[in-house]
Amino acid sequence: METWDTIRSRRDVREFEDRPIPREHLNQVLEAGRRAPSSQNWQPWDFVVVTDRDQLTELAGVWQGARYVAGSAATIALIAPTPGDERQRDALHYDLGQATMSMMLAAADLGVGSGHAAVADQQLARQILGFPAERICAYLIALGYPADRPLRPIERPDRRPFEDVVHWGRW
């Protein structure tokens, strides 16, 4: 896809076909996250990729809004240091947001749908994923081929009108 078509095609996908994503495509998505911009080149992320069905089912229990993770072909857990203060927390979430969007766009470019989720139960996430105690699982990105329809540019997205969002020079 062209970049503009990829941006217009990306949407949250919560129902996936039952087929695996090729390893080279997963690697491309992960590389997009690894290359994401980062404040002062901090790169606070580690990625844990889960493809085992039983493990995905368990992982879906880390937040009530993450149930769809169980049906994904793969889910990427974004692991990060526990923020030391408010400034570090803000930088962390900004950096992780950039890595998340980079991965979701790379996935869309490959025709792979994605949906992001928060993580409420850190203890359960740590038990399933095995990350160190000084780290947190900040987000999950569920990946898979959309069950309902393939990704394609959305002509009329459910977004606020351009004129209501964009201000030139001043508010």
pLDDT digits (tens, 9 = 90+) for 58-92: 999 999 999 999 999 999 999 999 999 999 999 99
**pLDDT single digits (tens) 90-128:** 999 999 999 999 999 999 999 999 999 999 999 999 999
Q: Are 138 and 98 in contact (CB under 8 A)?
A: no
Q: What percent of the chain has pLDDT above 90?
A: 99
How many whole angstroms separate alpha carbon 101 and alpha carbon 156?
Answer: 21
The answer, as to whether pTM is greater than 0.85, is yes
Number of residues in the chain: 171
pLDDT computed for residue 25 by the predictor: 98
Supply angle C-alpha 156, 160, 162, rounded to 5.
Answer: 80
pLDDT computed for residue 118 by the predictor: 96
How many whole angstroms separate alpha carbon 3 and alpha carbon 105?
Answer: 9
How many whole angstroms separate alpha carbon 49 and alpha carbon 57?
Answer: 14
- How does DSSP assign 88-115, residue by residue? HHHHHHHHHHHHHHHHHHHHHHTT-EEE
Element (H, E) at 56: helix 53-59
Read off the pLDDT band of 1 (50, 70, 90): low
**pLDDT single digits (tens) 160-171:** 999 999 999 999
